[in-house]
Amino acid sequence: MKSPFILSLLLVFSISCSRQAATETTMADRASPQTAQATAPKSEGDMKSSEAAPEPKTALAELNKAAATNEAADRRIIRNADITIEVASTTEAQQRVTSIAEFHGGFVVTSEAKQRQDADPSKRTLDVKLVVRIPANQFGPALAEITRLASNLPEANVSGQDVTEDFIDLEARIKTQKALELQFLEIMKQAHTVEDALEVQSQIADVRADIERLEGRKRFLENRSSLSTITVNIRTPKIIEVNPTGIRHTVREAVAESLEMASGMLTFFIRFVILMVPIFVFVLLPAGLVIRYLVRRAKRIRLAQALATPSAS
């Protein structure tokens, strides 16, 4: 809460400002009779002479045209464009877009490249995305030159946002806050206690923070309106495959599939044989030899037992 000291000083400053405005109004009223005399009705002779003279319609039209031109030049418009172009070579188009931006006084903000995935390596192409900033007065020519690079333009979006009203409002608010800051600085000079000085300093800090925030917003609008943004998506044309129809095509596909199946089976058999050879040599063959040895040994034991039984009897 503001102290009575600060409130009283603000009241004094408000009264002084009101008196200054009243003085300016009085001076304007004193000057009004002279203006009235200058705009008083003319005599009949003057009216006749004025009627005889032609009205300067051409000069008035030129003045109106100049005023309209100045008003259009003072407008703050944020222009953006997002286009997709198809070209034969994306890398060459990327270099040309960069050259166009630099020629018109702009620059490249970001550049991204991504390979398009495809099962066929020959169909893998590079898609490029560029974001360039162009001066507002060069937006149209630069966009037209970039568009002419395309063999096909699948997508194009152009937008504009008029921020003139916001810009004027920011300027007025900044002016008001700066005037308030000057008033607080004058109050600071008249502060007699530490408490009053600290409170005024706190108010000055709040006002300064508001001024910096408004000026930051103003600089943002100035940057966006003075430099337009063009986003360019560069890609190669997509190949459209047409599937033929007919009996010959069907027979050809069936033969191709049969050959592919036979080739697959032969490949599987060859791989199976190659895989089984080490297994046969190192696993099955030793196991077979061991089993054969055990079987023969068991037969000998049974034969020896059979021969021993009659001799004992």
Question: Is residue 194 in a domain?
Answer: no
Question: Is residue 117 in a domain?
Answer: yes
Question: Is residue 116 in a domain?
Answer: yes
Question: Is residue 88 in a domain?
Answer: yes
Q: Which residue range forms the structural domain that includes residue 137?
A: 78-161+227-235
- The structure's pTM equals 0.53
Question: Is residue 172 in a domain?
Answer: no
86 within 8 A of 150, measured Cβ to Cβ? yes
CATH number of the domain encompassing residue 144: 3.30.70
Mind giving me the DSSP string for 48-115?
Answer: HHHHHSPP-HHHHHHHHHHHHHHHHHT--EEEEEEEEEE-S-HHHHHHHHHHHHHHTT-EEEEEEEEE
Question: Is residue 183 in a domain?
Answer: no
Residue 132: how many other CB atoms lie within 10 Å: 25
Q: What is the pLDDT of residues 122-176, one digit of tens each?
A: 667 888 999 999 999 999 999 999 999 998 899 999 999 898 898 899 999 999 9
The number of distinct structural domains making up the chain is 1
Q: What is the pLDDT of residues 34-75, one digit of tens each?
A: 433 433 444 444 444 444 444 555 655 555 555 444 554 578
Question: Is residue 99 in a domain?
Answer: yes
Question: Is residue 114 in a domain?
Answer: yes
